[in-house]
Amino acid sequence: MDIFLLEDDDAIAMGLTYSLEPEGYQVTRASTVKEAMRLMAERPFSLYILDLTLPDGSGYDVCRKIKEKGDFPVIILTVMEEEVNVVMGLELGADDYITKPFRVRELLARMKSVLRRYTKETADGVLRYKELCIYTNEGRVEKNGNEIELTAMEYRLLLILILMNHKGMILSRNQLLENIWDVEGDFVNDNTLTVYIKRLRGKIETDPAEPEYIQTVRGRGYRIDNER
């Protein structure tokens, strides 16, 4: 899962990256507001972690920009304990906050809690999406109570489509390829992605010709129908 980290302190940024990547998160870091705006214009992320005090501006500005683009989960980092700073961040749409210094395990718990609210995942690791139940702890999928046999690649593709999607956001083919190319050492090119999408639709859609879950946006990519 792609995480965006806005933090100007190199030591904190390196420590968080070192701690988050073994947990399955891919961290993209910016150290200034200007750099953050540039990176965010290139592609969306699954979760944004924002420091408030930056050399060329405020994390509030970045949070405001994120929420203008879509309903993405945001956690703010702050060394300021005044209630007004936390309230301002939450009013701009931030989902949670954590005060420095903090323990990585506390941040991880808050990240998982925020992501559950966006993905409808329960505490026992079950991600529910329409008629689908994805048991993330067991790596299996059911539809209307019947288990669907997916390959490792199909399972990961389904997870990526759901977890990276917010409010009908369109995911480009390049974004999908960046996240699935190295699953079990398999190489996925553009043509192969088309095949995997077709196979996945054949297993989860009632009518693959009229997909309810994975919708193609011509010339742009794919979108998960968010009517849950």
pLDDT of residue 130: 80
The band of 165, judged by pLDDT with boundaries at 50, 70 and 90, is low
CA 128 to chain centre: 16
Buried b (16+ CB within 10 A) or exposed e, 181-198: eebeeeebeeeebeebbe
For range 63-82, the mean pLDDT:
81
Distance, in Å, from the CA atom of 184 to the CA atom of 206, rounded to the nearest integer, reads 29
The structural domains of the chain, ordered by start, are 2-119 (3.40.50.2300), 126-224 (1.10.10.10)
The band of 119, judged by pLDDT with boundaries at 50, 70 and 90, is low
Instruction: Name the residue with higher pLDDT: 125 or 208.
Output: 208
Res. 147: pLDDT tops 90: yes
The band of 32, judged by pLDDT with boundaries at 50, 70 and 90, is very high
Could you tell me the pTM of the whole model? 0.59
Q: Are 201 and 194 in contact (CB under 8 A)?
A: no
Helix (H) or strand (E) holding 219: none
